[in-house]
Structure 1
Amino acid sequence: MINIVLFGPPGSGKGTQAENLISKFNLKQISTGDLFRFNMKNDTPLGILAKSYIDKGELVPDKVTTDMLIDELKKPCDCDGYIFDGYPRTSFQTECLDKIVKEELKSEISICLSLIVEDRILVERLINRGKSSGRKDDSEVSIITNRISEYYKKTAEVAELYKEQGKYVEINGVGEIAEISQKLFAEVEKIK
């Protein structure tokens, strides 16, 4: 079983590369954003609880996010592993994920792949995406730079933990999509 933590700031191409990894290795992507949307849209008990925090402008506690993740991993899946996207974001969540993967999947996190792209290029990509998608959060440079700096602040401690475990690999996220995919595939092949 292959279990990948996929890192990359907004605009790094993480979504595209996740799709390529899924196709190549028969993985299932678990995105915390998707979990929140699904649970809130379907008024699950965890969705209702998460919404109660969001409606008050508060952060959803780690336990609620973790419980959503556990529920998702308990669903039957004919896959050869998972891509975790958006979780973990803290050292506490990293420890939780290690425990969950061990208990629920009888496995471990195989690798943390981190797409590295210069901030200037990220901003350019997101502005272009904003023009075509109409997303407000991709249309203002100040909002974009804030999102990028928040991403770095939140993920720094997680990257350090995976470095200590010898599972952290940085991949240059600039270039042709297929070339970047091949670099990611090569890193996954090393751990198969």
Structure 2
Amino acid sequence: MAAKFFLLALLALSFSGALASGPSQLQDFCVGDSRGGVIFVNGFACKDPKTAVAEDFFFFCGLHMAGNTSNKQGSAVTAVNVAHIARLNTLGISLARVDYDRYGQNPPHIHPRATEILTVVEGSLYVGFVTSNPENKLFSKALNKGDVFVFPQGLIHFQYNCGTTKAIAIAALSSKNPGVITIANAVFGSKPSILDDIVAKAF
């Protein structure tokens, strides 16, 4: 009897784990229709799939161009996600090109809805992420051209150009809309502002 109960419990756990993952697609694709399609999937209007053409899947021509890194962080992110390309709706992927000036950084931030895999295309980067509380353990690594690093979903991570030349990376993300929350901007730049006493006590 105990063996049967254990087997049933194990089966229940395996099914609950399967149900906890993201929902599977209900159709092949949902090409966003800026003219006001009538079917909505995941918040975006879809055109009739029978009217889709190959051009609907040609997303972007511009990732070969460097972003403008003349800012305080010395970096530029060129994103290709559902906010820019509605055709990515329901497909669960996006990507970005990140350009880094000498000693530029992509400051500590999180993607609340995506895991990120980053490939260094040019230059060298020092990258890392911090585990969730209470451990707050830093996993970091110096990367060179061709190296790949993964940032788990929802964890604070960063990239810093530790080389003496410009650097370029391509990031792939496991969501059509990964979101980005830059930690310093969120804490110190919220509107309305977080009370000074709260921020002072926290830091």
For the pair shown, the structure with the greater C-alpha radius of gyration is 2
Question: Do the two structures share a fold, i.e. TM-score over 0.5?
Answer: no
Q: For the superposition of Structure 1 and Structure 2, which TM-score range results when normalised by the shorter chain?
A: under 0.3
- TM-score w.r.t. length of structure 1: 0.21
